[in-house]
Structure 1
Amino acid sequence: MAALVTLRTAAREAPDGVDSKSPAAKQAADVARTVKEAGRRLAPRDWRWLRQLPLEDLNPEDLDRLLTGHLADAVNDARAAIRAAVAVHRDVDDATLLLLASDPEPEVRRAVTARILGAAGG
């Protein structure tokens, strides 16, 4: 999973003005295809699979992508790091934030506070 961002970064950094038939351009196209395929494969997974994924294998960008569409399931995850990621996710609704504001873990409550302050421009 950590390699996903590395590949995405490599795809964006393909040099301009490179002949489309050169090895560098072909490699950049291969990287872009790999990134697209990885994103496609991650999207349809259900939460049962995602909740077994080790957090240390995920970077924040990948976690954000995986949570999209699974916020209702992820809010009840046993791992505080997942609940904190739900709190700062761009698609989280107010009812979920209220629920997470009373979470027993300080990490989750801090994430809710940061989200509210960020949304208010504070």
Structure 2
Amino acid sequence: MATAFMLAHPYGIPRVMCSFAFETREQDPSQTDDGVLISSEIDDNGTCNNGYLCEHRWRQIFSMVEFRNVVEGTKVKNWWSNNDQQIAFSRSMGFVSFTSWGDLNENLYTNLPWNLL
């Protein structure tokens, strides 16, 4: 959820990185006998291998990158918060809502044109 918010909000310069899935504290990333890191490779099903997670390829993250590109250069409008871990806001042709618990059951102004609904 934090990555999605980072991509939805216009503050700063976002970075989405691929990571390695460690199973123990002592585990090293995949490497050759010479100690050279082995890069991730993409399987036929679109997932990474060699111990990498490739979060940047996850549908949710990829979609939020697309959202950020569409609303680039626009300001946050229609900010809503219930002050209890639920927020929503619009940016030009985009609208997002976040909740860390339960349903978000509110009538919210999205600023989206009716013909897109």
Provide TM-score, normalisation by structure 2.
0.26
More helix by share: 1
More strand by share: 2
Provide TM-score, normalisation by structure 1.
0.25
